[in-house]
Amino acid sequence: MKPLPQISEAEYEVMRIIWKYAPISTNEIVEKLEAVTSWNPKTIQTLIKRLVTKHAITYEKESRMFVYTPLVEESEYISQESNHFLKKYYGGNISTMLSAYLDHDRLSESEIDDLRRLLERKK
């Protein structure tokens, strides 16, 4: 499997909208991001162009509109980033990561049950 493009945090916010609503026009992306960020439309358009250049998304021109769809699956990207994070900060050891998390946060009974079910499925 070839490596997926590196996406900045701002580009990731654009990708989240595209993953959720694709196919989606430039105007719709701008509208949705303006509702949750302080970015101006030119900034959003620049981020979209970067994602096209990185081959994370593609577009089709429909009359006077550009409509975008992802070339990268959300689950693949999250998996790649999770693996990168795990290797970078915890040497690839998930037990160390979970231990560090548990030292600073508390899991609910429901979350603990969910983890048990996940582990049982992987046995």
Nearest Cα to Cα of residue 13 among 40, 41, 32: 32
Residue ending a domain, among 49, 70, 91, is 70
Judged on CB neighbours under 10 Å (0-12, 13-18, 19+), 46 is middle
Does some domain include residue 2?
Answer: no
The range of the structural domain enclosing residue 104 comes to 74-122
Please tell me whether residues 78 and 65 are part of one structural domain: no
Neighbours of 21 (CB within 10 A): 13
State how many domains the chain has: 2
User: Mean pLDDT, 10 residues at a time, over the chain (123 residues)?
Assistant: 84 98 98 97 98 97 96 93 89 88 86 91 87
Q: What span, in angstroms and rounded, lies between the C-alpha atoms of 11 and 48? A: 8
pTM listed for this prediction: 0.79
pLDDT at site 2: 67
Please tell me whether residues 96 and 110 are part of one structural domain: yes
